[in-house]
Amino acid sequence: MATLKLKKPALKTAAAKLDRPPLRGGAQKRPTLAEAQALRAEREARYQEQLQQRYGDKRPASGAPKPAGSQRPRRDERQATPDARRRAPDAPQADPRGQAPSGRNTAFGARPPRPSPAEPGRDARQRPVENTQRTPPGPAPRRDDRRRSAAAPDPCSRAPAQRRERDDVDDFHATQQPGSMRLSKRMSELGIASRREADEWIPKGWVRVDGRVVKELGSRVLPGQHISIEAKARNAQAMKVSVLINKPVGFVSGQAEDGYEPAVVLMTPENQWREDRSGIRFLREHLRGLAPAGRLDIDSVGLLVLTQDGRIAKQLIGEDSEIEKEYLVRVHTLNNEALPDDDLALLNHGLELDGQALRPALVEWVNDDQLRFVLREGKKRQIRRMCEAVGLEVLGLKRVRIGQVMLGDLPAGQWRYLRGDEKFGLGAGADDLAAR
């Protein structure tokens, strides 16, 4: 089978390359600086001369179009024939379509320039006049009409469901009847929710007073009115968790201070107690809003409650809280003698701290160097200061119970969720305290 071979064209010689036509537009010689300046001066002089001939002493405004010939020629004009380039700059070009000559090149369909308003001899009636008249506005609405139209639209235009919802909402914020109180405070007193929770639920329409929805913050109610919450509020409350931690030495209860970490850092999946029977799965959302309900100082150990539920926090640390806290305290007498019975009686009742009398407590010996404290209040370093008042030095302090919730076998440094069947309330020793 024969193979067809193509011969490459012979290379052009240098002479052949010189014979080829120049590039598009031809080679243009760049003017020198002196030539460019002379050309610019000549163009400016020609422009001033045309202004003088056209307008005289009255020069046009800065925005008026320049006369023909003073502008730099366009690309299509530069590439025109030599005869066209040698034409006088102020000579008008003939329009092949028979239109009036103009200063611009209209051979390519360009629109002639619009005459300046300041041009003499121009009749103003020939220019289109814009309609600048406007319809006079009607009478301004009165102030009460504007307020009524913006705040309360026509009730007839609303849907029936919206009218029923509007009628179902009662307005309590304007009433200042004797004995009334803020709705959120009343809900906190009844244990329905904390004040913060109530302030979140009221704008959402989750609170009812005597069967009517209240959406206004700051609403006031009377003690005899019935308050209820919607199912959405109960579900939001059920999602909040409480955590029990066996706090070791060296951790603070609340925020970090003096280089010590807060106890909440112990709440990790690795530190969760294996025998936690709450059935709650750990979520990162459970770490949000956890606050200590009752503190333990750095040197104290034992049961610490962290909760998201404002009701539990108020129940444990509120001003009128009656929840008991039980402690085991290892002490040492300063004079190495037994504590007199009178001093033990003072620990039970009769001491003052910061100028205020303490509530009755239950203090008894467990063994030779350990006391059992049951308190209904929690002032700062209360047990240590009580012991110092009767000549005792505290060597160790451990909280083992809060209400009916016991520390139990929870190991130190571990945590568990509060079960649904566990409730804080009066526990063991209530009868003894009530008798005092």
Question: Tens of pLDDT along 97-129?
Answer: 544 444 444 444 445 555 555 444 444 444 544
Instruction: Give 136's pLDDT tier (boundaries 50, 70, 90).
Output: low
Nearest to 189 by CA among 323, 313, 311: 311
Q: Do residue 180 and residue 258 come from a single domain?
A: no
pLDDT exceeds 90 at position 326: yes
Mean pLDDT check: name the lowest of 49-58, 148-157, 253-262. Answer: 148-157
What pLDDT is recorded for position 30? 80
Q: Do residue 264 and residue 368 come from a single domain?
A: yes
Q: How large is the average pLDDT for residues 5-33?
A: 61
Residue with the larger pLDDT of the pair 91 and 374: 374
Structure tokens at 196: 């913060």
74 within some domain: no
How many whole angstroms separate alpha carbon 69 and alpha carbon 49?
11
What pLDDT is recorded for position 349? 93
Instruction: Give 17's pLDDT tier (boundaries 50, 70, 90).
Output: low
pLDDT exceeds 90 at position 171: no
What pLDDT is recorded for position 255? 82
Per-residue exposure over 137-155, b if at least 16 CB sit within 10 Å of its own CB, e if not = eeeeeeeeeeeeeeeeeee
Q: Do residue 205 and residue 330 come from a single domain?
A: no
What pLDDT is recorded for position 21? 57
Choosing from 237, 267, 294, the residue where a domain stops is 237
Domain hosting residue 184, numbered range:
159-237
Query: What region, left, alpha or beta, does residue 88 occupy, with left being phi > 0 and alpha being psi -120 to 50 degrees?
Result: beta
Write the DSSP symbol of residue 395: E
Q: Do residue 268 and residue 204 come from a single domain?
A: no
CATH code of residue 397? 3.30.2350.10
Q: Do residue 287 and residue 387 come from a single domain?
A: yes
**Which residues does the annotation mark as catalytic?**
297
Instruction: Give 388's pLDDT tier (boundaries 50, 70, 90).
Output: very high
Handedness of CA 340, 390, 327, 361 (dihedral sign): positive
Q: How many domains does the chain have?
A: 2
How many whole angstroms separate alpha carbon 382 and alpha carbon 141?
68
Q: Do residue 226 and residue 256 come from a single domain?
A: no
Structure tokens at 356: 């205020």
What pLDDT is recorded for position 189? 81
What pLDDT is recorded for position 84? 45
369 within some domain: yes
How many whole angstroms separate alpha carbon 370 and alpha carbon 333?
11
Choosing from 237, 266, 299, the residue where a domain stops is 237
Q: Do residue 322 and residue 216 come from a single domain?
A: no
